[in-house]
Amino acid sequence: MALTKATNSIISGSVVNVLDYGADPTGTTDSTAAIQAAIDACSTTDRTEGVAATPVSNAVHIPAGTYLVSSSIDVTSYLNIYGSGRQTTLIKSSITDGSAVFNIEYSTSGLSQNYNRLSDFTIDGQGNNTQGIYVAFTNRFELSSVQVMKCENRALDLSGGVINTIIDFYSWDCGSLTEPAVLLYGAAPEFGPNATTFIGGEVYASPNIGMHVQECVSLNVSGMTFQANEGNAILVTNGLQIQIDGCYFEVNLDDIKLLNTVSCSVTNNLFALPKTGYTAFIVLNRMTNGHIYGNEFQVGKNAIGATTEIGSLLFDQSYVGNNFGTNPLPIDAGILALANNNGTIVERWDGTSYGNAVYGRNIFMSRTHHDDDIRFIAAGDTIQWIDSGIIWRTGTANPEGVITAPVGSMFTNSNGGTGTTFYVKETGTGNTGWVAK
């Protein structure tokens, strides 16, 4: 097989090195055209999903050094672009029109972009109106060990596409008063960057929102740090199946704001010192089938707050419990007032609870169908069907005149004998109407 560029690449099918196309690793001259040429050398065939692909190479290497970029670099499908490390491969941008250093977008033919991976480099926007990485309708995109800094626009923009994995991504001092550092956007939830996972990394010092999730389904944010952001660390507007787990929050203005979510979980996070003027660590507007548990709040004021930013407060089929902080854990009165509605439960570790939860007890809920939801209440001696209120309780005596329950409820007497062991509530709304069976 014939030799290709002699200095850094060896044979057809090998990694393409940007140095072979004239990139300057000293940062003296503009390397935009050279990096684009290296990418284009890997793009001799259509490599959209479902189309046979015979590319020259699937990888472009940017070795250690500093590279100047003055306009967007377009990235084609099925391509891996990697540097030598976040500390050694630096791409400096002089872009000022708000466009991205790397533009990864579906083709004008309407076919989707697929299987791109970027890793092991840093983008420095030098304070210019520059985006770091723009990804639109790209499926199975992966970003690993990349840092974007000093961009007066978004560090990372994911618009549409599915099955994206972002590992150890660092955004430092990116965004503006009108733009978040990280944006996940869709025209509707089904068109957002769905099935996306963030693992590790940090969003630091955004002048506005750290991460804005706007119309998205199935997002997992795990093990990240959000620090010193002037706005919300994470803002979710219209999200379905959003999981925020094991993250660290410090000196942000309201760490997490959930404006309209279904099946959203905020679990096992550490909320440290907030920013002066904050409303609450977690701010809720409309939550259905949500879970907030296992979190630690290191400052007692306003652990969970409420807003009516996009409509009246809704807190439905949700559970708050097993959170740690000052006693009692401060929760907005509007949320507590809704805790008895439609199976929503709030429990606080000071002995007070709302929605029939009890101090120090977890709630067991079956989610096979909302109409069949059940929970354990009291000291574990009662099962309740949430929608109907019917209970099945155990005890050591006759329930007549003692146990208040709706018709259809059951009672088991553990000290009973023949004809005094099992009771059914057949009439009435108070504590009478129990019949032994």
pLDDT above 60 (res 217): yes
pLDDT above 50 (res 8): no
Overall domain count for the chain: 2
Grade residue 350 by pLDDT with cuts at 50, 70 and 90.
low
Query: DSSP secondary-structure letter at 5?
Result: S
Is the same domain home to 149 and 271?
A: yes
- Please give the Cα distance from 64 to 279 (Å, whole number): 45
pLDDT above 50 (res 436): yes
Which domain, by its residues, includes 395? 390-436
pLDDT above 90 (res 74): yes
pLDDT at 302: 83
Is the same domain home to 284 and 399?
A: no
Task: Please provide the average confidence, as pLDDT, over all residues in the chain.
Answer: 85
Share of the chain above pLDDT 90, in %: 56
Is the same domain home to 222 and 314?
A: yes
- Please give the Cα distance from 200 to 115 (Å, whole number): 21
pLDDT above 80 (res 11): no
| Cα four-point dihedral sign 101, 107, 113, 116 | negative
Is the same domain home to 173 and 243?
A: yes
Q: Tell whether 155 is covered by a domain.
A: yes
The burial class, CB within 10 Å (0-12 / 13-18 / 19+), for 96 is: middle
Q: Tell whether 14 is covered by a domain.
A: no
Provide CB contacts within 8 A for 123, sequence distance 6+. Answer: 91, 93, 101, 102, 132, 133, 146, 147, 148, 149, 151, 155
Residue 293 and residue 321 in contact, taking contact as beta carbons nearer than 8 Å: yes
pLDDT above 90 (res 174): yes
Q: Among 309, 335, 367, identify where a domain stops.
A: 367
Q: Tell whether 52 is covered by a domain.
A: no
261-310 pLDDT, tens digit each: 999 999 999 999 899 888 899 999 999 889 998 999 987 678 999 999 99
85-135 pLDDT, tens digit each: 999 999 999 999 999 999 998 755 455 678 889 999 999 999 999 999 999
Is the same domain home to 171 and 285?
A: yes
Is the same domain home to 397 and 294?
A: no
Is the same domain home to 416 and 356?
A: no
pLDDT above 80 (res 48): no
Is the same domain home to 237 and 271?
A: yes
Is the same domain home to 409 and 260?
A: no
pLDDT above 70 (res 358): no
Which of the two residues, 435 and 137, has the higher pLDDT score?
435
CATH classification of the domain holding 256:
2.160.20.10
Q: Tell whether 271 is covered by a domain.
A: yes
Residue 15 and residue 61 in contact, taking contact as beta carbons nearer than 8 Å: yes
Q: Tell whether 111 is covered by a domain.
A: yes
Is the same domain home to 122 and 229?
A: yes
Is the same domain home to 249 and 165?
A: yes
Is the same domain home to 118 and 203?
A: yes
Rg value, the chain, Cα: 28
pTM > 0.85: yes or no: no
The H-or-E segment that residue 16 falls in is strand 16-17
